[in-house]
Structure 1
Amino acid sequence: MTANDHDVPALLMQGPVPAGEIAASPFDAALWQAIRTQEAIQKMTGGDIRLKALKAFVALNIAAILGDDDHLTSGEIADICKADAALMARFLYAMHAYGVVTTDEDGRYGLTPLGQALQPGSAMWAALGVITSPLWQQAGDSLADTIRAGHPAILGGAATPYPLVTREPDLGPMFDVFMSGRTAGPAAALAARDYSDVRTVADLGGGDGTLLATILTAHPHLNGILVERADVAARADLRLTEQGLAGRVQVITRDIFDDVCPSADRIIVSSVLHNRDDSTNVTLLRAIRYALEHARPRAQLWCVEMLLPEAGIHTSGTDLDLRMMAMFPGGQERTLRQYQALLASAGLNLIEGGLLPGNHTLMIAAPDGA
């Protein structure tokens, strides 16, 4: 038996090998580097099957079957799902490793907090539905073509993906639920701020109204304005009415990138600027600056976005930047310095910033000289 033929598995089972031992090993450092490189790539490519496994977990309705506190064996779950018992046992073994389910001493499965978050109708359930939808998957699959062409290949020259979203009847409402969940943390943090000198808050591109509703509920003296395109504005109007806020909110149906912006003491753009190129954003920001200049003193823009990290560091912002590349012409995540330059191009000064839940950042800006 030689080391070259038989010792690799044994050495790998021992875990990472210190650099000093690599030099003394019968394998040279280049081979060890190759092994570790392969492991790193395998870890990255494993993300695809983990996503598909979560999709299968939802499709099999396992979160609903287990509920809040039920514990069932894999066989019982298979029976309810009308699935193969042996494959279900293997599947749940993997989902346990992923942290989606837990097991008790009798081998019965229950939901972890992660599994609970995948209950039907939840924000993460909707997020999974959006991300695994044909539109989102095709956009990712065509990323190489997008890079070659310089614009999202899936759009065929269209300005935004929203017309494609509306073609799939369930995708638009599911996207609202996804974005509502994504907005909940930042919305709560913004609602906790001081509004004593504020009378009106405008949310441009405010989706289904989650953010604005959270702020208005916390501050009964405020009135709100929500601007959205027609299909989303209708759903926002219904949601705000259901929450008893209809009398305090004006819902305006309009493209927010038209060069008109309603006047308000606080104008919010949340997860909006990353959808567009710099030139289009400057047009919007100039309209906002004009509206702020004609509002009450100390009117401000509150911009909420996910920032790109420093070079060489991976965060969710890195992944989101590639998704924007695949779906939005000119859409991109930006660094804080890039946002500061974008605001300055529109005559706005960045005067304050802070971290928000969900890896978001609040950037507060005011017109030059304010």
Structure 2
Amino acid sequence: MRHFLIDLEIPPHMTTISPSEGARQPHGLPSQSINLIIEQGQMSFAVLYAFCALSIADRLRESSASTSELALWCQATLHAPQLRSDHLSRLLRAAYAQGWIDQLQDGAWSLTHSGRDLCLTAPQSWAERVSKVSATPWAEVGHRIGAAILTGTGAQGHERNALFGWRDEVAPDVADALVADMGRRSSAAAELLALRDMRHVLKVIDVGGQGSMLSALLDGHLHLQGVVLNPRLTAEAEGRLHHEDMVSRWKEEKVDLVREGVPKSYKPLYLLDGVLCQLGDTQAVTLLCRIVNGMKGFAAAEIVLVEPLLAEQPTSHGGVIADLILMALTPAGRVRTLAENKKLLQDAGWPHIEHVPFNDEQGLIIARLPAPARPGSAQTNA
């Protein structure tokens, strides 16, 4: 039997195991049946493919193991000296959320009943079925996840350095599913943001370029003007923004966000919809700093982030699959916790930060700059 992520013989010690006994129930976190994941072939399948490809279930079948122990085993067994345990831990977190592994009190990982069926050597192994659908688009994403773990790096290449550049590099079905997932988050955020008082804002600058939130704000506040940077409009947003009632109230601009920053404007509101999660920490702080520099001196200057969020507990379900996909499709992107997103803003000079939740795992992150001191005030004379 051959490994299906890389051309590798399964080691001799991986002998056939007996079938799992009893009901195959996960450890209580939300999970889907493995059969359903294979049949649907969506985002969870990419995680399943990478988990099977790295043979983690076969190692945990023998005994529980910590993340560092699993990393050492993968390095030796898969001939991957560049593998990094922090990248592997992101896959383990997603596998836990799916119910394939459990975490013991000492932090070590153990295999669940459903996880046993993912051993490559198990009779009627689900992993065998996974390997037979390796030509599907989501299997390709799973292959990229595995490759990112084995090499210790994310996606490489000039085009992937651009925001949403991955939309041109994955199969249309994958791109459409990921954009739709972001669109659901954007729509909920737009509804919440549209209820806020916007009288202090004159121009909305859509840094991500997808247009979903911008179109909702322009529709709800007739005094607003809009700018879409490096437009990658969704089909829904394009239809709304090109409607005759709205088409004259916005324009497009192309800029290098990391090198050039963002355009300055009077009384602006900057929207970052799914932007920071595509960037590493350094790039994210650089971009936020450039926005700060462009907004200084304007009263009530604001920035709104709409990001997928990881729960503060590292093994919770929220955001873990999106995190793995970002690892596969971007050079350094990842899903962060609310605290980590706040720290990026604070490091870039945003002192006032508010989180407005719209469901258990998502919410608006709104940051403000202090209003500029008026001439003759105590702050000016200090």
Mapping 1:134-145, distance limit 5 Å: 134-145=136-147
Give the total of aligned pairs.
258
User: Identity over the aligned pairs, expressed in percent?
Assistant: 26
| AA at the equivalent of 2:189 | P
Give per-residue Cα distances to partners, 1:128-165, cap 9 Å, x unaligned: xxxx9955431223423211212236x56863485553
Deviation, 1:356, is 2.2
| AA at the equivalent of 2:338 | L
1:247 aligns with 248
- Mapped contact 2:310–2:337 kept (Cα < 8 A): yes
- Mapped contact 1:182–1:358 kept (Cα < 8 A): no
Deviation, 1:298, is 0.9
| AA at the equivalent of 1:249 | W
1:206 aligns with 209
- In structure 2, how many angstroms separate the alpha carbons of the residues matched to 1:246 and 1:146? 42
Mapping 1:1-370, distance limit 5 Å: 39-40=25-26, 47-54=33-40, 134-152=136-154, 155=156, 159-160=160-161, 162-163=164-165, 165-166=167-168, 170=172, 176-207=179-210, 209-229=211-231, 232=233, 239-242=240-243, 244-262=245-263, 263=265, 264-294=267-297, 296-357=298-359, 359-367=361-369
TM-score scaled by structure 1?
A: 0.59
> Could you say if the C-alpha distance between residues 133 and 366 of structure 1 is closer, same or farther in structure 2, counting changes exceeding 3 Å?
farther
Give per-residue Cα distances to partners, 1:301-353, cap 9 Å, x unaligned: 11121221122542231222222222222111112221222112211224322
| AA at the equivalent of 2:200 | D
- Mapped contact 1:270–1:305 kept (Cα < 8 A): yes
> Could you say if the C-alpha distance between residues 368 and 147 of structure 1 is closer, same or farther in structure 2, counting changes exceeding 3 Å?
farther
Please list every run of 5 or more consecutive structure 1 residues that lacks an aligned counterpart in the other structure.
1-33, 57-131
- In structure 1, how many angstroms separate the alpha carbons of the residues matched to 2:322 and 2:259? 26
Give per-residue Cα distances to partners, 1:59-105, cap 9 Å, x unaligned: xxxxxxxxxxxxxxxxxxxxxxxxxxxxxxxxxxxxxxxxxxxxxxx
| AA at the equivalent of 1:311 | Q
Deviation, 1:244, is 2.6
Give per-residue Cα distances to partners, 1:165-195, cap 9 Å, x unaligned: 3256845566555533332111111111111
Give the number of the structure with larger relative contact order, counting CA–CA contacts within 8 Å between residues 6 or more apart.
Answer: 2
The root-mean-square deviation of aligned C-alpha atoms, in Å, is 3.6
Give per-residue Cα distances to partners, 1:194-231, cap 9 Å, x unaligned: 11222111111131x221111111111111111125x5
Structure 1, 346-355 or 144-153: larger mean CA deviation: 144-153
Deviation, 1:43, is 9.5
- In structure 1, how many angstroms separate the alpha carbons of the residues matched to 2:272 and 2:139? 27
1:19 aligns with none
Structure with larger Rg: 1
- In structure 2, how many angstroms separate the alpha carbons of the residues matched to 1:133 and 1:216? 43
- In structure 1, how many angstroms separate the alpha carbons of the residues matched to 2:328 and 2:22? 30
- Mapped contact 1:259–1:283 kept (Cα < 8 A): no
TM-score scaled by structure 2?
A: 0.57
- In structure 1, how many angstroms separate the alpha carbons of the residues matched to 2:253 and 2:236? 12
- Which one has the bigger helix percentage? 1
Structure 1, 270-279 or 246-255: larger mean CA deviation: 246-255
2:74 aligns with none
- Mapped contact 1:320–1:333 kept (Cα < 8 A): yes
- Mapped contact 1:355–1:361 kept (Cα < 8 A): yes
3-state SS of the aligned residue for 1:39?
coil
> Could you say if the C-alpha distance between residues 199 and 158 of structure 1 is closer, same or farther in structure 2, counting changes exceeding 3 Å?
closer
> Could you say if the C-alpha distance between residues 278 and 55 of structure 1 is closer, same or farther in structure 2, counting changes exceeding 3 Å?
closer
